[in-house]
Structure 1
Amino acid sequence: MADEQLQAQVAYEDLQDLQREFDEVETEIMRQQAKLTATLYERRAATVAQIPRFWPLVLEQAPPDIDQYIQPSDSALLLLSLTSISVSRFELDVAPQSLAISFTFAPNEYFTNDVLQKKFWYRKAMDGWSGLVSEPVRIDWKKGKDLTGGLLDLVIKAWEQDRGKVSGSLSAEQKSLSKKIENTGMGGASFFAWFGFVGRRISAEESVEANKIEAKAVADHKAGIQTEGSGHDHGDQEDEDLALEMSLEIFPDGDDLAVAFAEDLWPGALGYFSSAQEQDAMSDFDMESDDEAPDLAEKLDDSESDTVAPPLKKHRSQ
């Protein structure tokens, strides 16, 4: 029995090593793809800048994992004032998963910012978790025009006061934010609350240390060195801190939305724009069909034929 357990443990560790190698290959593919397509995206940006409302039309065709977060009040701003979107992988050689997503706006009635850029850093925690983390981005709202209802400003205030730290108990600013989130509910949160997403509070230093520990564990395993205690289990305090962090998160799916922009909308923008054009063309055709229908009906009424004509079929937009 002991031998079987040892074999199973070795096999499990081998699977973990294989998964890490698969992840490394995917990371390298991401890195090389970004390098190979950089000039193409530059050419695309120069071309679409000449097309009125290119990015608003792309957003109109956004897939559900993006569209579900855009409220009607957000659409009024995005469709009328958004001039461009861009995505960059600003840590390409170190962590190509890291993202910077920028939105450029024309002057509008909601805020004074010309560009809103949201950065996401790819980090690893000591407990083995890895993913995207961020810092809140300030939006300079005009009076009475804050689409987040004050949530984003509270995130900024708590972040600046407590430097993003959550441990043991909430500060006064964090308590105010937590209460506001609880009373607001996330079902109808504005898309612009996304700029307040933070995620797990994993510092660059912790991420570097976690990567070192993992690398050593992998090297030891390949060398046949058995190590104990290489894993990390959550303590009660860490679990409490994680729960407190989540109570301060105004956009829990912020990392998923960032990935949707970077891996779907951004590379597929030309396809989404073509879909918008086709839909507009179909809508125009429907309108022409509706205009012609009364004339055709009059001709049918004037006919001496006793045959009853079938109703006209209206083309449905795809």
Structure 2
Amino acid sequence: MAPRIETTVTYEDLAAVEHHLDDVDGQILRHEYLLQKPILDRRSELVANIPNFWPLVFEGAPSAIEEEIEPSDSHVFADALVDFSVDRFDVDNEPKSYSLKFTFKANEWFDDEVLEKKFHYRTNCSGARYHVSEPVEIHWKPGKDLTGGLLDSATALFDARQRRSLFSTTTIKSQADMDEKVEMKNKVMQLAEYEALIHKLEFSDPGYRSFFLLFGFVSHYRYVTAEEHAGALAEHKKAQDQQENPIWALEAERDLDEQEIEICDGGEELGYKLANDLWPHAIKYFTAAQENDTDDDDDTEDDSESSAMDEDDDSDEEEGKKVDIRSLVQGKRKKSESLHQNGDGSPAKARKMNGK
């Protein structure tokens, strides 16, 4: 066993270092976002003329994103997704806050043309920083709710708590704080919306997690209201002005009670990957999907039992396995022999001039 080392360094000292590094990360992110924005705006103009660009981007996405997309979600993306974008809507004040915006054409699943999910990067009263979000309602068509009612229930509970101010703003430092937290929990548990969501979660299939549950994500930790965030920043600024060392939390609070009603526990990580990986590198993933498409075509031509393979693919889909978005978008269009555009809607590769 290593000898115990006496030190005057505290966890608060370490947390302060982490906090300052987080500030620097934010400054770097702001600078990067502003530099990239005109380039990404130009990209958006170009890809708007490429059929099925964004469905194919999601098809070529890294496994960490791909595994969050159920077969039923793949059908929505292939048939209706027309645009995707990320906006850091408070870049001057908090560049780590962002929104994910999905644009759809008219479809058989829901009435919404745009679904926008905002992730707010906030500070709680103990100084911990993390992302929180509010549920986004999706207006599902009858019998088409891919979340099995979980999103509607989560939205209803969040709204009920917001109307009654039933979000804890207390960090437990004393018995009085604990008593307040217990009282708040009891009030939440008495809500009809709470019971309805718990019932939905108990009878939902744990093996089926629709991508659209992301729109119901609230927080990986305790939810932080805008008021608590503003108050926390004011308190810490006051401490700095008085030349005191603000007490920053080294880790955020993991409220197990809140996690009982979180329908998308990995929502913060998924949102981060979409905003910081898929969005800036969309062309790379689109190209990867095209290359995989070519490889698949070659394999199919060489396989004398392609019809049998198709039957196997159909049975796999019925068993709930991943659906290939490329095959779905290809099924909606005919192959083109145009010299200026490939048959799958991707841009034709540049050709050398003949010198004449």
TM-score range, shorter-chain basis?
A: 0.7 to 0.9
Residue type at the aligned position of 1:210: A
1:193 and 2:213 aligned: yes
Query: Which of the numbers 261, 272, 276 marks the counterpart of 2:289?
Result: 276
Normalised to the residue count of structure 1, the TM-score between the two structures is 0.79
For 2:185 and 2:237, locate their aligned partners in 1 and report how far apart those are by CA, in whole Å: 31
For 1:54 and 1:206, locate their aligned partners in 2 and report how far apart those are by CA, in whole Å: 41
Post-superposition Cα deviations, 1:80-125, rounded to whole Å, max 9, x if no partner, equal 2111110000010111111110111111110111111101111111
Residue type at the aligned position of 2:261: L
Partner SS, residue 121 of structure 2: strand
**What pairs with 1:193-232 in structure 2 (closer than 5 Å)?**
193-199=213-219, 200-217=222-239, 230=247
Asked if 1 retains the 8 angstrom alpha-carbon contact of 2:128 and 2:250, the reply is no
Q: CA RMSD in A?
A: 2.6
Unaligned runs of 5+ in 2: 168-183, 305-356
For 1:272 and 1:19, locate their aligned partners in 2 and report how far apart those are by CA, in whole Å: 33
For 1:57 and 1:111, locate their aligned partners in 2 and report how far apart those are by CA, in whole Å: 21
Normalised to the residue count of structure 2, the TM-score between the two structures is 0.71
1:245 and 2:244 aligned: no
Asked if 1 retains the 8 angstrom alpha-carbon contact of 2:239 and 2:245, the reply is no
Q: 1:60 to 1:214 in 2, by over 3 A?
A: same
| 2:332 aligned partner | none
Residue type at the aligned position of 1:258: G
Q: 1:140 to 1:216 in 2, by over 3 A?
A: same
| 1:23 aligned partner | 22
Post-superposition Cα deviations, 1:11-66, rounded to whole Å, max 9, x if no partner, equal x5554443333222211010011111111111000100100110000101111221
Give the paired residue count.
276
Deviation at 1:67?
Answer: 1.3
Partner SS, residue 184 of structure 1: coil
1:165 and 2:182 aligned: no
**In terms of mean alpha carbon deviation, does 58-67 or 211-220 score higher?**
211-220
| 2:132 aligned partner | 133
Deviation at 1:271?
Answer: 0.4
**What pairs with 1:149-164 in structure 2 (closer than 5 Å)?**
149-163=148-162
For 1:272 and 1:232, locate their aligned partners in 2 and report how far apart those are by CA, in whole Å: 38
Higher relative contact order (CA 8 A, sep 6+): 2
Partner SS, residue 270 of structure 1: helix
Residue type at the aligned position of 2:41: E
Residue type at the aligned position of 1:260: K
